[in-house]
Amino acid sequence: MDKRYSLDMTSAPFLKKIFIFSIPLVLTGLLQLAYNTADVVVVGRFAGSEALAAVGSTGSLINLLLNVFIGLSMGSGVMVARHIGENSDKKVHSCTHTAMLMSVICGIFIGVFGFFMSGRILVLMGSPEDVLPLATLYLKIYFMGCPGSMVYNFGSAIVRATGDTKRPLFILASTGLVNVALNLILVIFFHMGVSGVAIATITSQYLSAIMIVVHLTKLDNACKLRFSKLRIHKAELIKIIQIGLPAGIQNSLFSISNVIIQSTVNSFGSVAMAGIAAGSNFDSYIYTATNAISQTTMTFSSQNMGAGKYENISKIYRYCISITVIIGVVMGIIGSVFSNTIVSFFSTDKEVIAIGAERLSMIMPFFVFCSLMDVAAGQLRGMGESFKPMIVSLLGGCGIRLFWIFAILPYNHTLMFLYWAYPISWVATFIVQFSLYFILRKGIIRKNQKAGA
pLDDT at residue number 4:
41
How many residues are listed for the chain in this entry?
453
pLDDT at residue number 46:
64
Indicate whether 452 belongs to any domain. no
Indicate whether 9 belongs to any domain. no
Q: From CA 256, how far away is CA 146, in angstroms rounded? A: 20
pLDDT at residue number 145:
93
Helix (H, G, I), strand (E, B) or coil at 4: coil
Domain range spanning residue 405? 14-443
Indicate whether 5 belongs to any domain. no
Instruction: Specify whether the CB–CB gap between 324 and 371 falls below 8 A.
Output: yes
Indicate whether 1 belongs to any domain. no
In sequence order, what DSSP letters do the residues of 289-341 get, joined into one string?
Answer: HHHHHHHHHHHHHHHHHHHT-GGGHHHHHHHHHHHHHHHHHHHHHHHHHTHHH
pLDDT at residue number 289:
81
Helix ranges (H only) for 14-131 are 14-46, 49-56, 59-85, 89-124
pLDDT in tens, 249-263: 877 776 677 667 767
In sequence order, what DSSP letters do the residues of 264-302 get, joined into one string?
Answer: HHHTT-HHHHHHHHHHHHHHHHHHHHHHHHHHHHHHHHH
Indicate whether 448 belongs to any domain. no
Number of domains composing the chain: 1
Q: Longest Cα pair distance anywhere in the chain, in angstroms?
A: 65
pLDDT at residue number 2:
43
Indicate whether 295 belongs to any domain. yes
Return per-residue pLDDT of the chain as tens, 453 residues.
Answer: 444 446 788 888 899 999 999 999 888 888 877 777 777 777 776 666 667 776 766 776 787 778 888 889 999 999 999 999 888 999 999 999 999 999 999 999 999 999 999 888 888 777 777 778 888 888 899 999 999 999 999 999 999 999 899 999 999 889 989 988 998 899 888 888 888 888 998 999 999 999 999 999 999 889 999 999 999 999 999 999 999 988 888 777 766 776 677 677 777 777 777 777 777 777 777 888 888 899 999 999 999 998 889 999 999 999 999 999 998 899 889 888 888 888 887 777 788 888 888 888 888 889 889 889 889 988 999 998 888 888 888 888 788 888 888 899 888 888 788 888 889 989 999 999 999 998 998 888 888 877 664
Indicate whether 334 belongs to any domain. yes
Indicate whether 144 belongs to any domain. yes
